[in-house]
């Protein structure tokens, strides 16, 4: 235990900024869990495609005034096609995710979403020609073995919902790479502006084919899905702005705890021991990759004569799984 405490003190600090960052991360994990459990609940009558539309539509209502307050000049971009690709990819993976979460227990959903950093690393190697050394390769193998522990192919029937969540994680990993590319030329305000403007009409197209007018009560639940998801995104962004990645990222694991608790309270679900073990293994693999990427990023900054200032957000913080 003392060795663990020494390691944590080495990685982070106990400054007020760090404590606020951790608090924001904990709030984000709770908000994302509320979003998912509410989406699953309301999907009993409203098709998941329509739920996705309301998720992004209420996000638009919340975020657009903030974006406009920064000035319309932030809509200027030379990479409009990449913004369209990002929005289309984001909507597609959300459609898959919202369908998948209605098919398997919610704790299992959260456990499998921890594979996102693993997929992001694989895609970066394949498409961005990033180099991967033995330690990160080992972390990838460990992480995907954790996914196999959750799914247990050959021992139990492979569930369609599990495959959909993995496909969604792969899709989100692709979106992360696009966002990283966009940050080379566009500000975070520009990226957010085009995201909220483009995603709502894109999400309406599939929703129109399964449209059912929600009751006022259902509309309230749908508003909660959109508001919780959007506030969760803002909270996780603020967490990485306030504190170092190494300080806040380990607390992302609390999503699995929240999911198990809310899944039990709302749906009476009791996660299997394999969900806990597999989810922990996946998370550890992804955590190592994220921390290693952070270390390499810092070394590159030092080599270039620049050091990250406290509270400064860098590209490594983009690669966190958001919904």
Q: pTM of the full predicted structure?
A: 0.84
Tell me, yes or no, whether 8 lies in a domain. no
Phi-psi group of 214: left, alpha or beta (phi > 0 → left; psi -120 to 50 → alpha; rest → beta): beta
pLDDT at 92: 95
Separation between Cα atoms, residue 35 and residue 113, nearest integer Å: 15
- The boundaries of the domain holding residue 24 are 15-319
Tell me, yes or no, whether 214 lies in a domain. yes
For the stretch 45-81, pLDDT in tens is 899 999 999 999 999 998 888 888 877 788 888 889 9
Q: CA end-to-end span of the chain, whole Å?
A: 34
Number of Cα atoms under 13 Å in the Cβ half of residue 321: 35
Place 2 in a pLDDT band, splitting at 50, 70 and 90.
low
3-state secondary structure of 62: helix
Tell me, yes or no, whether 121 lies in a domain. yes
> What's the distance, CA 167 to chain centroid?
14
Instruction: Tell me what the mean pLDDT of segment 261-267 comes to.
Output: 90
Tell me, yes or no, whether 2 lies in a domain. no
pLDDT at 73: 81
Separation between Cα atoms, residue 88 and residue 174, nearest integer Å: 11
3-state secondary structure of 44: coil
CB 109 within 8 A of CB 100: yes
Helices 273-303 and 254-267, axial angle in degrees (round to 10): 150
For the stretch 96-114, pLDDT in tens is 999 999 999 999 999 999 8
Res 305 pLDDT > 80: no
Separation between Cα atoms, residue 52 and residue 99, nearest integer Å: 10
For the chain, what is the domain count?
1
Separation between Cα atoms, residue 89 and residue 171, nearest integer Å: 7
Instruction: Tell me what the mean pLDDT of segment 248-266 comes to.
Output: 88
């Amino acid at each position: 235990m003392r060795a663990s405490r020494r390691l944590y003190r080495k990685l982070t600090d106990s400054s007020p900024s760090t404590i606020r960052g951790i608090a924001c991360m904990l709030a984000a994990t709770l908000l994302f869990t509320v979003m998912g459990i509410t989406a699953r609940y309301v999907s009993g009558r409203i098709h998941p495609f329509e739920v996705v539309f309301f998720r992004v539509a209420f996000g638009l209502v919340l975020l657009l005034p903030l974006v406009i307050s920064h000035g319309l000049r932030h809509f200027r971009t030379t990479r409009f096609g990449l913004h369209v690709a990002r929005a289309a990819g984001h909507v597609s993976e959300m459609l898959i995710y919202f369908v998948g979460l209605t098919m398997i227990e919610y704790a299992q959903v959260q456990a499998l979403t921890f594979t996102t950093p693993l997929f992001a690393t694989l895609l970066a190697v394949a498409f961005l020609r990033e180099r991967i050394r033995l330690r990160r390769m080992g972390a990838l193998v460990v992480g995907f073995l954790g996914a196999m522990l959750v799914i247990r192919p050959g021992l139990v029937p492979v569930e369609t919902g599990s495959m959909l969540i993995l496909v969604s994680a792969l899709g989100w990993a692709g979106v992360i790479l696009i966002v990283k590319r966009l940050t080379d030329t566009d500000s975070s305000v520009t990226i957010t502006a085009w995201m909220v403007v483009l995603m709502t009409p894109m999400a309406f197209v599939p929703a129109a084919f399964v449209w059912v007018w929600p009751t006022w009560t259902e509309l309230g639940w749908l508003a909660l899905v959109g508001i919780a998801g959007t506030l969760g995104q803002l909270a996780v962004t603020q967490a990485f702005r306030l504190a170092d990645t190494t300080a806040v990222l380990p607390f992302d694991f609390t999503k699995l705890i929240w999911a198990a608790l809310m899944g039990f309270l709302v749906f009476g679900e009791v996660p299997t021991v394999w969900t806990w073990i597999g989810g922990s293994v996946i998370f550890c693999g992804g955590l190592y990759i994220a921390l290693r990427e952070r270390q390499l990023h810092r070394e590159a900054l030092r080599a270039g004569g620049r050091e990250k200032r406290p509270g400064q957000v860098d590209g490594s913080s983009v690669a966190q799984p958001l919904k």
